[in-house]
Amino acid sequence: MRVVVAMSGGVDSSVAAALMAEAGHEVVGLSMQLYDQRATQDGAPAFGSCCSLDDLHDAKRVARQLGFPHYIVNFEREFNATVVDDFVREYASGRTPIPCVHCNADLKFSTLAERAAGLDASVVATGHYARVIFDEDRGRYRLLRGVDAGKDQSYFLFTLTQDQLAHALFPVGHLTKPEVRLHAERLGLSVADKPDSHEICFVPDGNTARFVERHAPQAPTAGDIVDREGHVLGEHRGVHHFTVGQRRGLGLSTGSPLYVIKLEPVEQRVVVGTRDALGSRELTATRVNWIAGDPPDGATRVTARIRHRHHDAPATVVSTGGETAHVCFDEPQDAISPGQAVVFYDGEDVVGGGWIDSR
């Protein structure tokens, strides 16, 4: 069959394309141009290593070596609307966003699926460490963790629908990272030893507060830092400088460590407390997506992950109507942060997930 492969220029998507070609499929490589490659800020590149001009060249080089066509599609407008604008709004409103979820699921899959249809391709393959299978007994698709637990990216894909899963392939999901690199070496790919990118591509210096201020100059900046009883302990330059669980950068001298336990953007207050105050057993999630298509009946036992680099924890999740759910953990979880995602698992299966609204 004809397969569109989303090629970022890294080793994972390159090997995904190679495996599809080796399996006899007709491969078409597509790379997303997400931003103006000439853009600079203070004399430095405005964007980081992910999806850079070098990455686009690497993807084209791999496609040429493997003998299939490769095209670059301009997604600058979609990227700004779907990822960057949301990132700025969330930080300015005292939440901690995850741009990679919007980029991977909301942008990459939904938009590339449309482009694939225009190329008479039935599926989109990516280099994600995840798996999708069709359950014949239940008549639906299942989204599974990647085999490599250290590289598993199923957390970023919780928004995928049954229709999107029906048109998705993850060719490296059954491999470990070392195995992927071995495939790249076997094929003589130039990206075999290329390092992974871990930064937010549009905030290459890691200074999210400065980025937000540049793109939302109207955002309020000054406010109070208070304790849980409302006593003022100091001042801050804007809630977008903080995230729940943060300890450094508070500018307070109290004699004992304090952490950000809550952000109150309407009042422009940063609430701090001791480490014990960070823990919470409950949260409310909104815009919940259930991989099966419909929410489970009644209370469901799952393991839930509140951040990508966080271990699953036993919990009970209950759909509360619409696209909301209530999650109760067996044990308190540290630094549950509004704006982050909570993803539900049943063993290897992704049950669903949503955006943390409150705790």
- CATH code, 40: 3.40.50.620
Q: How far apart are CA 347 and CA 149, in angstroms?
A: 12
Partner residues linked to 302 by β-bridges? 315
Task: Assess whether 342 and 226 both reside in one domain.
Answer: no
Q: Is residue 352 part of a domain?
A: yes
103 classed as catalytic: yes
Task: Assess whether 169 and 27 both reside in one domain.
Answer: yes
| 307 DSSP assignment | S
Token pair belonging to 163:
């229709």
Residue % of the chain over a pLDDT of 90:
62
For residues 302-306, average pLDDT: 97
Residue 252 is part of which domain span? 220-273
201 classed as catalytic: yes
The H-or-E segment that residue 208 falls in is helix 208-215
Q: Tens digits of per-residue pLDDT, 111-150?
A: 788 888 888 898 999 999 999 999 999 999 999 999 999 9
- Give the torsion sign (CA, 51, 52, 56, 61): negative
Q: Of the listed 50, 51, 100, 201, which one is catalytic?
A: 201
Last residue of one domain, picked from the residues 144, 169, 186: 186
Asked whether residue 197 carries a pLDDT value surpassing 80, the answer given is no
Last residue of one domain, picked from the residues 273, 292, 314: 273
Q: Is 158 exposed, middle or buried (0-12, 13-18, 19+ CB in 10 A)?
A: buried
Q: Tens digits of per-residue pLDDT, 308-321?
A: 888 999 999 999 98
* DSSP β-ladder status, 26-33 and 40-41: unpaired
User: Could you give the number of structural domains in the chain?
Assistant: 3
Last residue of one domain, picked from the residues 254, 273, 292: 273
Q: Of the listed 50, 51, 100, 103, which one is catalytic?
A: 103
Task: Assess whether 125 and 241 both reside in one domain.
Answer: no
pLDDT band at 220 (very low <50, low <70, confident <90, very high): low
Task: Assess whether 34 and 159 both reside in one domain.
Answer: yes
Q: How far apart are CA 79 and CA 34, in angstroms?
A: 6
Top-confidence residue, 204 or 314: 314
Task: Assess whether 265 and 283 both reside in one domain.
Answer: no
Q: How far apart are CA 283 and CA 43, in angstroms?
A: 43
Task: Assess whether 111 and 258 both reside in one domain.
Answer: no
